[in-house]
Amino acid sequence: MPATQPPPPNRVAVYPGSFDPVTFGHLDVIRRGAALFDRLIVAVAPVSSGAGKQPLFSLEERIDLLRGETAGFANVEVAPLCGLLVAFAREHGAGVILKGLRAVSDFEFEYAMALMNRRLEGAIESLYVMTSAEYSYLSSSLVKEVARLGGALEGLVSPAVAAALRRKFGP
């Protein structure tokens, strides 16, 4: 009689970010992460003015937009990120921090973050996926600038996010 194999581990990952606002690039990483993991937690970070950023959308607005955008994924949940990312991952049973990379410049910053996260919590791995080529230039900052100047948002964000941006900046 063959030995029974243990069930595969429950693979849980955290995809952190500010998502101010969520773009098609973010949704590409979420779609791919949802296919790779049993459970993907999109962790929405508060944006501190000390980091040189002033958020356009409140934490609650960003969470609501993300929940709307990810409603079709049974294994994706959205939660606010409070405190250290590795502590959040540990509390949620995640063994992986998922990140998307657009360019070499992203890698340099993310590499340093991965080393610090490993120093703080060695059991949690960092996994990077390259953003699809069609979104490699896309950032929330660029989307906000296009919206602020009245440019077309089609192909950058969903209609719901475009409407939220128009409400912030006007028609």
* Alpha-carbon span 103 to 25, nearest angstrom: 13
Query: 131: closest CA among 30, 36, 45, 21?
Result: 30
φ/ψ (deg, to 5) at 54: -115, 115
* Alpha-carbon span 162 to 165, nearest angstrom: 5
Q: What is the DSSP letter of 116?
A: H
Length of the chain: 171
* Residue 102 falls in the annotated catalytic set: yes
φ/ψ (deg, to 5) at 7: -65, 150
Of 31, 67, 92, 102, the catalytic one is: 102
* Alpha-carbon span 94 to 86, nearest angstrom: 9
* Alpha-carbon span 51 to 44, nearest angstrom: 15
Of 18, 26, 32, 99, the catalytic one is: 26
* Residue 26 falls in the annotated catalytic set: yes
Residues belonging to the active site:
26, 53, 102, 140
